[in-house]
Chains A and B, each alone.
Chain A
Amino acid sequence: MQPAPTRITPSRAKQLNRNLGQFFWLLLFLGIPLALYSLWVVYPTIRTFTLAFTNYDGLSPPQWIGWANFKELFDWRPGGGGEVLKQALIHNLIWILVFITVPTSAGLALALVLNQGVRFDRFLKIAFYLPLVLAPVVTAMVWGWIYHPQQGLLNTVIYEILRFVHFIGFNVDPESARSIGWLGDPNLSLISVIAAAVWRQVGYVMVLYLAGLKTLDSEVLEAAKVDGAEGFNLFRYMILPMLAPVTTIVIVISIVDSLRSFDLVNVMTNGGPFNTSEVLANYMVKASFHDYRQGFGAAIAVILFLITFVFSVIYLRQVMSQEERTA
Chain B
Amino acid sequence: MSATATAQPQLRVRKVRKGPNPWVLGVVWVFALLWLIPFVGAIITSFRTFDDLNTRGFWSIPQELTLNNFVRAWNQAGVSRYLLNSFEITLPALAIAILFSSMCAYGLVRFRFRLSTPIYLMFVAGLMLPFQVLLLPVFFLANKLHIYDTLWALILFHSAFQLAFCTFVLRNFMKTIPFSLFESALIDGANEWIIFRRIALPLLLPGLAALATLEFTWIFNDYLWAIVLLQSDQLKPITTGLANLRGQYISDWPLMVAGSLIATVPTLIVFFALQRYFIDGLTVGATKG
Contacts and interface: CB of A to CB of B under 8 A. Distances in A.
- Using C-beta atoms within 8 Å of the partner chain, give the interface range for chain A: 35 or more
B111 A211 contact: no
Contacts of A253: 286
A220 interface: no
Interface stretch (B71-79, B204-212, B239-247): B239-247
B157 A40 contact: yes
A143 B157 CA distance: 29
B163 A130 contact: no
Contacts of A208: 282-283, 286-287
Given A30-B107, A40-B156, A142-B42, A301 B129 contact: no
A146 B124 CA distance: 38
Chain B binding surface SS class: helix
Contact of A34 (B119, B133, B256): B119
A242 B69 CA distance: 51
A236 interface: no
Interface in A281-327: 281, 284-285, 288-289, 294, 297-298, 301-302, 304-305, 308-309, 311-312, 315-316, 318-320, 322-323, 326
A127 B58 contact: no
Contacts, number: 294
B18 to A, nearest CB: 7
A318 B286 CA distance: 10
Nearest to A264: B223
A207 B282 contact: yes
B85 to A, nearest CB: 14
A301 B129 CA distance: 11
Interface string A106-130: 1000101110111100011011111
A312 B113 CA distance: 25
Interface residues of B, number: 100
Interface stretch (A68-76, A78-86, A131-139, A183-191): A131-139
A43 to B, nearest CB: 7
Nearest to B221: A135
Interface in A44-73: 44-45, 47-48, 51
Interface string B98-122: 0011011011101111100101011
Contact of A124 (B18, B29, B163): B29
Given A36-B160, A215-B287, A305 B133 contact: yes
Nearest to B241: A137
Interface stretch (A9-17, A20-28, A93-101): A20-28
Given A40-B141, A127-B33, A151-B58, A116 B20 contact: yes
Nearest to B270: A133
A156 interface: yes
Contact of A156 (B35, B58, B243): B58
Contacts of B264: 133-135, 138
Contacts of A316: 121, 124-125, 128
B39 A41 contact: no
B252 to A, nearest CB: 11
A172 B34 CA distance: 27
B181 interface: no
A160 interface: yes
A38 to B, nearest CB: 9
Contacts of A267: 223, 243, 246
B217 interface: yes
B57 interface: yes
Contacts of B20: 112-113, 116, 118
B37 A153 contact: yes
A102 interface: no
A114 B196 CA distance: 40
Give the 6 A-B residue pairs with the shortest CB-CB distance, closest first.
Answer: A29-B107, A44-B137, A135-B221, A40-B160, A312-B128, A211-B283
Given A135-B220, A142-B38, 7 more contacts: A3-B112, A26-B111, A29-B106, A41-B161, A127-B33, A129-B278, A153-B38
11 contacts: A25-B107, A40-B134, A47-B137, A135-B267, A138-B221, A142-B257, A207-B279, A207-B283, A256-B130, A281-B132, A298-B136
